[in-house]
Chains A and B, each alone.
Chain A
Amino acid sequence: MLAERKTEKVQIQRMLQRAEPRIFHYQFVADPLSVRYALRAAMARFLRQMTETEAGTLELILAEVLNNIVEHGYENSGEGSITLSIVRDRRGMNCAVSDDGTALPLECLLHSESEGAGGHVRPDPGKLPEGGFGWFLIRDLAEELGYRRENGHNLLAFRLPLEPA
């Protein structure tokens, strides 16, 4: 009886160990160093489940999204919080980021390669731009990018597809 219960306990523990690395949930203060720390924690959680290239891409997308919230959503106030959730499934890394900062301008989500087409214009390398790359990187690299504003909260969701293991 006791032995049976012990076996059950071990089985549950194993199940939790298997399930646990697939989910990451973290809330942090909206400042650049906290973003860095959050990225490090997220990458450490999933590192062994991705190729090096996929890990680099995920970290880049997340950094761009989180830095945008710090710089624009909270206007570099160093106040406010960000919640980052990542769930790994067969299709890839499903990410959700929420914050209580200002609303995301919708043109950030629009693809446009030329002026006048609506949305931001891709920075022209010849003009030596020092910024404006963030959303282009996010849109180029992420899939199923979706945004919702509700009761003063922003929710941004996207997926990084992974090569089948």
Chain B
Amino acid sequence: MQLEAEPHGGTLVVHVNESRIDAAVAIRFKDLMRDLTAPPADRVVLDLSLVEFLDSSGLGAVVAVMKSLSPEKRLELAALTPNVARVFRLTRMDGVFRIHETLDSALCEGARDAG
């Protein structure tokens, strides 16, 4: 599983360089996210632009990461593909996460908050 963390001011961006977050990688995803998000940050933005498929195990893993980061860090999501956005909508978990259309808009907002 390829994840890449990149700091932007007080925001830590994690790019998911994988086409799937599914049952086969859900545990690995949680473990890697715990390691990558160890540095101090106000919020973590998960860049999902390359993820084409997310199942309920993958969704559960994203929720678990959000819970493990709080309350020190907020987990926000960016650039969901249509299939992934639908899983959040169908499970009504889209109301639980701050979801940004694009990574740029997520970063702009962070910059505004900081300013």
Report whether over half of chain B's contact residues are helix, strand or loop; otherwise say mixed.
Answer: helix
Interface residue stretch chosen among A13-21, A81-89, A92-100, A133-141: A133-141
The range of chain B's interface size is 20 to 34
Shortest Cβ distance from B56 into A: residue: A133
Minimum CB–CB distance from B8 to chain A (whole Å) comes to 26
A36, B22: Cβ atoms under 8 Å? yes
Contacting residue for B91 out of A35, A57, A67, A137, CB 8 A: A137
Contact A59 B53, beta carbon cutoff 8 Å: yes
Contact bitstring A9-41, B, C-beta under 8 A = 1, else 0: 000000000000000000000001101100000
> Which of B9-17, B36-44, B63-71, B101-109 contacts the other chain?
B63-71
Q: Which residues of B sit under 8 angstroms from A63, Cβ to Cβ?
A: 22-23, 53, 55
Residue A129 lies at the interface, judged by CB distance under 8 Å to chain B? yes
Q: Is the CB of B55 within 8 A of A126?
A: no
B24 and A60 contacting across the interface, CB-CB below 8 Å:
no
Is B87 positioned at the interface, with any CB of A under 8 Å from its CB?
yes
Asked if A52 is an interface residue, CB under 8 A from chain B, the answer is yes
For B23, the chain A residues whose CB sits under 8 A away are 32, 35, 63, 67, 70-71
Chain B residues within an 8 Å CB radius of A35? 23-24
Binding site for B on A (CB under 8 A): 32-33, 35-36, 52-53, 56-57, 59-60, 63-64, 67, 70-71, 123, 125-126, 128-131, 133-134, 136-137, 140-141
